[in-house]
Amino acid sequence: MYEFAYHRPASVAEAVKLLAADPEAKLISGGMSLIPVLKQRLARPSALIDLGAIPDLVGISVSATTVTVKGRTTHAAVAASAEVRRAIPALAELASHIGDAQVRNRGTIGGSIAHNDPTADYPSAVLALGATVHTSRRTIAADDFFTGLFTTALEPDEIVTAVEFPIPDKAAYVKFPNPASRYAMVGVFVAKGPMGVRVAVTGAGAKGVFRHAAMEEALAKSWSPEALEGITTPAENLTTDIHASREYRAHLIGVMAKRAVAKAG
Amino acid sequence: MGYEGIGASVRRREDLRFLSGRGIYTDDINRPHQAYAVIVRSPHAHARIRGIDASAARSAPGVIAVFTGADMAAEKIGGLPCGWQVKNKDGTPMAEPPHPVLAVGKVRHVGDPVAVVVAETKPQARDAAERIVIDWEVLPAAATIQAALQPGAPSVHDDVPGNVCFDWHLGDKTAVDAAFARAHKVARLELSNNRLIPNAMEPRCAVGEYDPATGDYTLWTTSQNPHVIRLLMGAFVLNIPEHKLRVVAPDVGGGFGSKIHHYAEEAIVTWAAGKLKRPVKWTADRTESFMSDAHGRDHVTEAELALDDEGRFLALRVRTLANLGAYLSTFAPCVPTYLYATLLAGVYTTPAIYAEVKAVFTNTVPVDAYRGAGRPEATFLIERLVDIAALEMGMDRVEIRRRNFIPKDAFPYQTPVALQYDSGDYHRTLDEALKAAKWDTFEQRRAEAARRGKLRGIGISTYIEACGIAPSAVVGSLGARAGLYEVANIRVNPTGSITVFTGTHSHGQGHETTFAQLIADRFGVPMSQVEIVHGDTAKVPFGMGTYGSRSLAVGGSAIVRASDKIIAKAKRIAAHLLEASVEDIEFKNGMFRVAGTDRAKSFAEVSLAAYVPHNYPIEELEPGLEETAFYDPKNFTFPAGCHICEVEIDPETGEVEVVNFTAVDDVGRVINPMIVEGQVQGGVAQGIGQALFETCVYDEAGQLLSGSMMDYTMPRADDVPYIQVGTAVTLCTHNPLGVKGCGEVGAIGAPPAVIGAVVDALRDYGVRHIDMPATSHKIWRILDAGRQRLAAE
Ligand SMILES: Cc1cc2nc3c(=O)[nH]c(=O)nc-3n(C[C@H](O)[C@H](O)[C@H](O)COP(=O)(O)OP(=O)(O)OC[C@H]3O[C@@H](n4cnc5c(N)ncnc54)[C@H](O)[C@@H]3O)c2cc1C
């Protein structure tokens, strides 16, 4: 790690002010993605602005139609929430399979989607459920939020304060973990409800999380695993690495999607 | 206190310390006024160093010194020595290019140490290290065996043309050729044995210290063999005589072979401590471990097995290319030769064997011993080939093994590849494993799995291995530059408690328990009265350390010999005290008794008499009760056994799940069944790791693609099933305990059983062999090709 200054603001407004004042500063939430980068000296922020002392950024609230998870809520809290389990079991289930217990106890939803690692799990839920991202200055629709590898629509001094998920009729997430890292090598989130029928794929896209139009169309006609029979995913836009070729990823998308639909019921 | 002697599953005494965080590892050692070293490593696989500008680093905050290869060369610091010389087919010695501590002129792998920065703090040393500017001339790299052997390939070492370190052979070529000429069938196999990165839980660490008052050096290091490090580093690298150099290997968090070798960092911190008159500490981070700990395996092999019309093995022919990496690590040359080709008979009566091994330099991390070292490579080859022979012959895999086993009345059995097996009963381990694994009812399980949409397969391996490499004279004639005996010193303290100094080193094996059980057994004292001391050259007289499952077979035998000497002397003291003749003294359950009487003295009373010799045979005996034994074994020991694995494959994804695993091993006499089971479990987990997950990947430029836990797949708890472990013992005939060794059997026996099961599960897809690791990706490709073939038909 290089040296950095450390701030611990007590409100979102104060955090935004600190962030706006120093373009080299970085927010730190759970630190599960940022700290490894700092330890390897791959980033050199002038200051860390710790969101950990802002009480207003933690919590889950469920209404008749939405589940809202505040930005600094941990994966463990989402996984353990009885209300989330009732309203969107797929979301709680997804959170329960992120990393390991230590990572889930530190890592947060805001950090995960702001980081937008192409192999992270949450982005698929945000996209497939048609969630709305609340920030310190506006709301951003899921379809506009994820813009590419490790990039989002967030402005440099913008903070994710909450993610609001519409409650679907049916939803499920099935992940094929990378054998080494256990991030998603392919993860497919399917949902049906007020957001329409949506299928989001993580882990596989060369540009990060993406929606699968052909699968959405087929499932809109008939919500069943069989409806996905014969639907393929062009391999050109997928990632290839030492763990899986793009062809294998394309194949796994089909398998995971069918399993997700079956699981969603 | 229950029974604690031989055969008792006593809980490991060291675990309380480890599990409660009270172990003292090298990184826990901090010396007054200590400075911190950071190593600057090559980012290139192969490059010339045109110049190093360290001026900005030298003036960075907190920096005490920066050293490069030129600084060490100027002080005539030697290169890292190789402890084994293998000869070419024509009798000439292997190529032995220099292995400088810090690179001189050229770097040869990513991670090759180039410079060291010593600073007041570690972050300061890291900051300064980034300020070192190196002018590189990047050269094309030879990152694989195949690339290194291409005509016109880059030379890893300028003076080793063609990159061949040695071209060696073993066995009778003429006899093998003749047997092949009359073979009924020939089973053929080409395979690669995947390169592994050891990944002990504790990364390597070294702390060097120099005492200007005495001129004494101390090195604390994560080593499996501190005396060997003292010998190699003192005599060959730093020119420090042994009486001025103490090497301590305190608690060590796993080694698996990777901590046998003498590494550059040990020499760097010791030398720098002397120059700077300050203790210097270096601790690897995990990234450094990946690119600087010696890797394991990495063979490419072609083999053929000749069979007669009844499936009997007539001859075996093997051609292996072995990757040694960029430099010769400490024991590298013996691994693909004397620890590999000598095992190619397996448990079979194959009368003629000929093996050729070409060892190749590449621009990769050096390759050396890793759990099993050579024997897993031999076992994987033989057992896979036997499965293929069964296919060729249309015979059952079990039947072909039985037909070729060395029968139990044939021992001692001389193989055609130098070794003489002393004992074993391969039918028995096989039978017991088949029964425990319910081999006979497997087809029901296969059918049941098929109903669930899964492809189920079963695999078997009947392996042998060789432990406690010895005797010294023989290994010397084969090129070892060291003896391979072991040392024990037993100090009976005046009140009868016992301190044992052993030259072996425990880094997870549980010696503090097993050896204390041995002593409790011999002396009839409770284990609480016994202390096992290891890992410090200032305390232990000498020793060769722990690797190759040698500790109990060789180190335990030394303890027995020293115990015998103690008992012999104590009997004479007891005879004096009891006014009897020494022939009449019996020693049992901690009591010296005049045979047939109730006159007796306890062990503690006799010990006290030895140290307070008021009433003592002082004319004939020295006071005190302390003895040392050096035990040089007569032969290797030969553990063997049968491993059976069942897997299920998800045909949609190619994922393999190990659903059952049974191991029945003959490890010789069992001192502590719980520890043996633990060693087998751990070894099997590593074997499953090699078979299904682990592999080191370099790209063509020699960059390490699997350079972190994000990309190198270690087996995890949920990858390993419950492992059914059994033992079926035949005693070793030539050591006093009848023990053989259990540290590596799991890693040796498991891989072919797992791959055999995977191949069996895919039998409808026309697969004969799958190289390790059998990842889901690889299996999906096979399944996909099979489905496309079916669709086309
Ligand atoms: C061993 C390990 C295994 C893991 N496995 C998985 C896995 O299987 N699946 C998975 O999805 N993830 C995995 N992760 C990542 C984990 O989920 C992280 O917690 C998550 O990606 C980032 O959340 P964080 O709160 O830790 O963010 P941090 O690391 O604190 O921050 C990440 C980035 O987001 C920015 N940021 C943080 N909070 C905000 C905010 N509120 N608004 C705007 N920007 C913000 C930071 O400035 C930083 O750039 C793993 C991590 C580790 C260490």
Chain segment B253-298, per-residue pLDDT in tens: 999 999 999 999 999 999 999 999 999 999 999 999 999 999 999 9
% pLDDT > 70, chain B: 100
Q: Is A160 in the pocket of ligand 1 (CB under 6 A)?
A: yes
Query: Are A147 and A193 in a shared domain?
Result: no
User: In CATH, what number is assigned to the domain containing residue B663?
Assistant: 3.30.365.10
Q: Pick from B631, B663, B685: which residue ends a domain?
A: B631
What is the residue range of B533's domain? 485-631
B570 contacts B607 by C-beta, under 8 angstroms: yes
Q: How confident is the prediction for chain B on average, in pLDDT?
A: 97
Q: Does B730 share its domain with B625?
A: no
Is B214 a member of any domain?
yes
Average pLDDT over residues B139-150: 98
User: Residue A251: which of B123, B697, B780 has the nearest Cβ?
Assistant: B780
Picking from B605, B631, B657, the residue at the C-terminal end of a domain is B631
Q: By residue range, what is the domain housing residue A87?
A: 5-166
From A105's Cα to the closest Cα of chain B, the distance in A is 20
Both A180 and A245 in one domain: the answer is yes
Report the relative pairing of strands A5-7 and A47-50 from DSSP bridges.
Answer: parallel
Q: Which atom of ligand 1 is nearest to the CA of A120?
A: 11
Domain boundary among A112, A132, A166: A166
Domain-located, residue B423: yes
- B691 burial (CB, 10 Å; 0-12 / 13-18 / 19+) is buried
Mark whether B510 and B432 lie in a shared domain: no
Q: Establish how many alpha carbons lie within 13 A of residue B514's alpha carbon, considering only the half-sphere containing its beta carbon.
A: 30
> B237 with B105, same domain?
yes
Residue nearest to atom 14 of ligand 1 (CA): A99
Torsion A89-A91-A94-A96 (CA) sign:
negative
A243–B710: do the CB atoms touch at under 8 Å? Answer: no
Tell how far the Cα of A73 is from the centroid of ligand 1, in angstroms. 12
Same domain as B582, residue B516: yes
Q: How far apart are CA A164 and CA A132, in angstroms?
A: 5
Q: Based on the domain organization, do A20 and A96 belong to the same domain?
A: yes
Q: Are residues A153 and A179 in the same domain?
A: no
Answer yes or no: do B308 and B428 share one domain: yes
Residue A212 sits in the same domain as residue A184: yes
Query: How many domains are contained in chain A?
Result: 2
- The last residue of a domain, from among A146, A166, A186: A166
Whether residues A197 and A257 fall in one domain: yes
Q: Are residues A231 and A159 in the same domain?
A: no
**Record: contact A255-B784, CB cut-off 8 A:** no
Domain-embedded: residue B177: no
Residue of chain B nearest A119, judged by CA positions: B710
Query: Is B556 in contact with B741 (CB distance < 8 Å)?
Result: no
CA of A159 to the centre of ligand 1 (A): 14
Which of B578, B605, B631 is a domain's end point? Answer: B631
Statement to judge: residues B312 and B331 lie in one domain = yes
Contact residues on chain B for A251, CB-CB shorter than 8 A: 780, 784
Question: pTM for this structure?
Answer: 0.97
Q: Which of helix, strand or coil describes residue B186?
A: strand
Q: Which residues does chain A have within 8 Å of residue B714's beta carbon, measured at their own beta carbons?
A: 180
Residue B98 domain flag: yes
The conformation of residue B501, written as its DSSP 8-state character, comes to E
Domain of A41, CATH number, reads: 3.30.465.10
Residue A162 shares a structural domain with residue A183: no
CA B52, distance to chain mean position in Å, is: 37
Show the beta-strand stretches assigned E in B74-181: 106-107, 113-119, 133-138, 164-171
What's the rounded Cα separation, in Å, for the pair B712 and B504? 31
- What mean pLDDT is predicted for residues B367-389? 98
pLDDT tens string B409-420: 999 999 999 999
Residue B170 resides in a domain: no
The ipTM, to two decimals, is 0.96
Single residue among A105, A139, A166 that ends a domain in this structure? A166
| Same domain (yes/no): A102, A138 | yes
Rounded Cα–Cα distance for residues A235 and A245 (Å): 9
Residues β-bridged to residue B358 = B167, B321
CB atoms within 10 A of CB A100: 10
Chain B CB contacts of A242 below 8 Å: 697, 705-706, 711
Choice between B564 and B766, residue whose per-residue pLDDT is larger? B564
Q: Give B320-333 pLDDT, tens digit per residue.
A: 999 999 999 999 99
Cα B35 from chain centre: 32
pLDDT one-digit tens code per residue, A41-89: 999 999 999 999 999 999 999 999 999 999 999 999 999 999 999 999 9
Element (DSSP H or E) covering residue B319:
strand B313-325
Is residue B455 located within the same domain as residue B339?
yes
Are residue B96 and residue B220 in the same domain, yes or no? yes
CB contacts, 8 Å: B706 with chain A: 180, 242
State if residue A28 touches ligand 1 by the CB under 6 angstroms criterion: yes
* Rounded distance from Cα A82 to ligand 1 centre (Å): 23
What is the count of residue pairs from A and B with beta carbons less than 8 Å apart?
38
Same domain assignment for residues A134 and A32: yes
User: Does residue A1 register a pLDDT over 90?
Assistant: no
Residue B10 covered by a domain: no
- Let me know whether A59 and A25 are in one domain: yes
CB-CB under 8 Å, B653 with A176: yes
Same domain, A154 and A176: no
pLDDT (average), residues B519-525: 95
Contact B126 A41 (CB under 8 A): yes
* A108 CA → ligand 1 middle, Å: 6
CA angle B414, B419, B425 (to 5 degrees): 65
- Number of separate domains in chain B: 3
CATH code of A238's domain: 3.30.390.50
Map tokens 């679907």 to a residue: A168
pLDDT band (50, 70, 90) for residue A216: very high
Instruction: Please report, for the domain that includes residue B116, its CATH number.
Output: 3.90.1170.50
Residues B448 and B591 in one domain: no
Is the pLDDT assigned to residue B1 strictly greater than 60? no
